[in-house]
Amino acid sequence: MSADDKLKELGLTLPDVPTPVATYVSFKQVGDMIYLSGQGPKRADGTYPTGKVGADVTIEQAYEHAKQTGLGLLAAMKKAAGSLDKVEVVKLLGMVNAAPDFSDHPKVINGCSDLFVAVLGDRGRHARSAVGMGSLPNRMTVEIEVIVKVHP
């Protein structure tokens, strides 16, 4: 089953790839590797869910924010590679806007990781870091960047 078919089966739709708001690009390809700029859980109206995970935002809510971010990253992968069936996720860095005593960062970033495996199968499995930050741009709850390999 193609990745696009899997998205349909899951009832998911890829958003538009966001336009960079500063001096950077959405992705950069070097050889067969694509480096995706960090994204957050942008809503259709252009806003982001905000707050500190572990204080203002629950793990479950932040998991969904990471999943939404993953959809945006899949859209960028598709735009960069031409097809999701050509990509393999290599490395993911997940950043959580966390309360000082919060320690469940991996549970949050699982929202994105679980999505990648659900859509891409074994090519969605990846090495990963999940870390807490004192703040993130726009006060968003999560930001995730990804490195992917393109297969012919």
User: Which residues pair with residue 129 across a beta bridge?
Assistant: 93
Tally the domains of the chain: 1
- As a whole number of angstroms, the distance between CA 110 and CA 60 comes to 10
- As a whole number of angstroms, the distance between CA 31 and CA 58 comes to 40
pLDDT for the residue numbered 33: 98
pLDDT for the residue numbered 48: 95
pLDDT in single tens digits along all 152 residues of the chain: 999 999 999 999 999 998 888 999 999 999 999 999 999 999 989 899 999 999 999 999 999 999 999 999 999 999 999 999 999 999 999 999 999 999 999 999 999 999 999 999 999 999 999 999 999 999 999 999 999 999 99
- As a whole number of angstroms, the distance between CA 1 and CA 60 comes to 29
The phi and psi torsions of 137 (rounded to 5 degrees) equal: -55, 140
The answer to whether 66 and 14 have CB atoms below 8 angstroms apart is: no
The CATH number that applies at residue 11 is 3.30.1330.40
Q: What is the pLDDT of residues 10-39, one digit of tens each?
A: 999 999 998 888 999 999 999 999 999 999
Expressed as residue numbers, the domain containing 11 is: 3-150
- As a whole number of angstroms, the distance between CA 96 and CA 134 comes to 9
The phi and psi torsions of 42 (rounded to 5 degrees) equal: -70, 130
The phi and psi torsions of 144 (rounded to 5 degrees) equal: -135, 135
pLDDT for the residue numbered 18: 81
**Quick check: pTM over 0.85?**
yes
